[in-house]
């Protein structure tokens, strides 16, 4: 999805989840837990192509510049972070595997902080002259 997973905290969490990722590949995890790891960890299974909505968003952003790009991009970032926070919160509460559950729970505060920062950046982008 994004390249936001280069943060040191994520890298640490990714190492902590290595055992769960191994279990995911062997089929030992519940389907929902495996899907979450594949989407969140970016090391288990990465799709060869972007999904249709990501391609559409990319094409839309490529046509914009300046303040219009900033507003649209930050709107997308806020929407994406809200989705991630909701998903991580759900997995932190409902995952069957304790490593997956712990990974989601320990990563959630960082994602919530990133959402707050993205919302501030979005407000700044919206206040730019059109």
> Given a cut of 50, is residue 28 above it in pLDDT?
yes
**pLDDT at residue 35 above 70?**
yes
> CB of 74 within 8 A of CB of 61?
no
Write the CB contacts of 101 (distance below 8 Å, at least 6 apart in sequence): 91, 92, 93, 95
Residue 23 maps to which CATH number?
Answer: 1.20.1260
Q: Which residues neighbour 122 within 8 Å (Cβ) at sequence distance 6 or greater?
A: 71, 74, 75, 77, 78
**Angstrom distance (rounded) from CA 95 to CA 64:** 40
Residue range of the domain that includes 16 = 4-126
* Count of structural domains within the chain: 1
CA–CA separation, 125 and 65 (whole Å): 12
What's the pLDDT band for 45 if we cut at 50, 70, 90? Answer: low
**CA-to-CA distance for 55 and 48, rounded, in angstroms?**
13
Tokens of 8: 């040191």
The model's pTM is: 0.66
Strongest mean pLDDT among 24-38, 40-54, 59-73? 59-73
């Amino acid at each position: 999805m994004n390249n936001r997973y280069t943060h040191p905290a994520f890298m640490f969490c990714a190492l902590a989840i290595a055992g769960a990722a191994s279990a995911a590949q062997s089929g030992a995890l519940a389907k929902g837990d495996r899907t979450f790891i594949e989407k969140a960890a970016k090391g288990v299974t990465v799709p060869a192509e972007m999904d249709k909505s990501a391609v559409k968003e990319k094409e839309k952003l490529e046509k914009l510049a300046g303040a219009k790009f900033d507003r649209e991009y930050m709107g997308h970032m806020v929407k994406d972070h809200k989705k991630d926070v909701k998903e991580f919160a759900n997995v932190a509460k409902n995952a069957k595997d304790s490593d997956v559950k712990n990974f989601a729970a320990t990563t959630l505060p960082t994602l919530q902080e990133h959402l707050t920062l993205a919302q501030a950046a979005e407000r700044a982008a919206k206040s730019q002259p059109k």
